[in-house]
Copies of this chain bind each other. A is one copy, B any other.
Amino acid sequence: MKRTAFFISDGTGITAETLGNSLLSQFEAIDFERITLPYIDSVEKAEKAAARINQAAATHGHRPIVVDTIVDKNIRQILDSADCLNIDIFSTFLAPLERELSIESSYRVGKSHAATTSPNYLARIDAVNFALDNDDGARTRHYAEADIILIGVSRSGKTPTCLYLAMQYGIKAANYPLTEEDMADLRIPKSLEPHQQKLFGLTIDPDRLAAIRNERRANSRYASLKQCYHEIDEVEMLYQRQNIPFISTTDKSIEEISTRIMEETGLQRRLKV
């Protein structure tokens, strides 16, 4: 079955999208067409949005699902009048919160919600730059400054995880690729020794690794199953011998790898919300 879902916001739409996708994922039998309409911050834009909703209802013979985080009353009214099932996050949950906190929300008094600008901008950019400058073992001299150093074989997920940790949490994450030379005597490389406490290992199912490497360099020794099995065998042995905590990235999203690392290491986010 097909249905249309709109995620509507006067800002980026990220909250409406995140919550909306989470709710819709509970209905696996339905194939949702998802449309995000961000920056709906004027009556004119709201009227266009309402027209799109009504058109989708008329075309598909079902009223769309609308998940929104709109604050402004005039804009709300226009969306409310459209032909849809409206999941209205703010008006649903703010009343009980107001009672609990004995205070009126900015929503109630008609102010828009907090701007997306934050004092975190520089800390975040700093962390992203740190991840870029300390990617792939290119330099090891800044490791003293790192919050964490991810290690693992080529294509096990180190770089995107470092970037996500930087972007989402402001964590300074370096990464170092373990090569065959490094593995010769099953010890971590000399340059990593002073930072043993910061090391966190990634591993991955060898078949999955071979598939990923084949995308990059098809039919190479590097991408061969034999080579992948061999490398993964060695790094897992290394992690165990040296008591380095590690996690498998197989079948995990970058978000999940990152939040599990935060959880296991006890690292605290450096960005304020």
Interface positions of A (Cβ within 8 A of B) = 1, 3, 11-15, 18-19, 21-23, 25-30, 34, 38-39, 63, 65, 69, 85, 87, 89-90, 92-94, 96-97, 100-101, 103, 105-107, 113-118, 121-122, 124-126, 128-129, 132, 135, 157, 159-160, 163-164, 167, 212, 215, 251-256, 259-260, 263, 273
Contacts and interface: CB of A to CB of B under 8 A. Distances in A.
A190 to B, nearest CB: 27
- Scoring A25, A63, A132 by chain B CB atoms within 10 A of each residue's CB, the highest score goes to A25
A163 B260 CA distance: 21
11 contacts: A11-B256, A14-B18, A15-B22, A23-B90, A23-B94, A26-B107, A39-B260, A92-B93, A125-B157, A125-B160, A160-B167
A46 B194 CA distance: 38
Nearest to A100: B85
Contacts of A163: 128, 163, 167
B122 A212 contact: yes
Contacts of A122: 212, 215
Nearest to A122: B215
B252 A117 contact: yes
A134 to B, nearest CB: 13
In the A-B complex, the 7 residue pairs with the smallest Cβ-Cβ separation, listed nearest first, are A26-B105, A25-B114, A15-B22, A116-B253, A12-B259, A18-B18, A85-B100
Contacts of A92: 92-93
B19 A263 contact: no
Contacts of A103: 1, 27, 29-30
A114 B164 CA distance: 22
A23 B93 contact: yes
B34 A273 contact: yes
Contacts of A1: 103
- Scoring A65, A85, A101, A114 by chain B CB atoms within 10 A of each residue's CB, the highest score goes to A101
A85 B96 contact: yes
B12 A255 contact: yes
Contacts of A96: 85, 87
Contacts of A125: 157, 160, 212
Given A215-B122, A263-B39, A18 B21 contact: no
A94 B26 contact: yes
A189 to B, nearest CB: 23
Contacts of A254: 124, 167
B101 A22 contact: no
A97 B103 CA distance: 30
A254 to B, nearest CB: 7
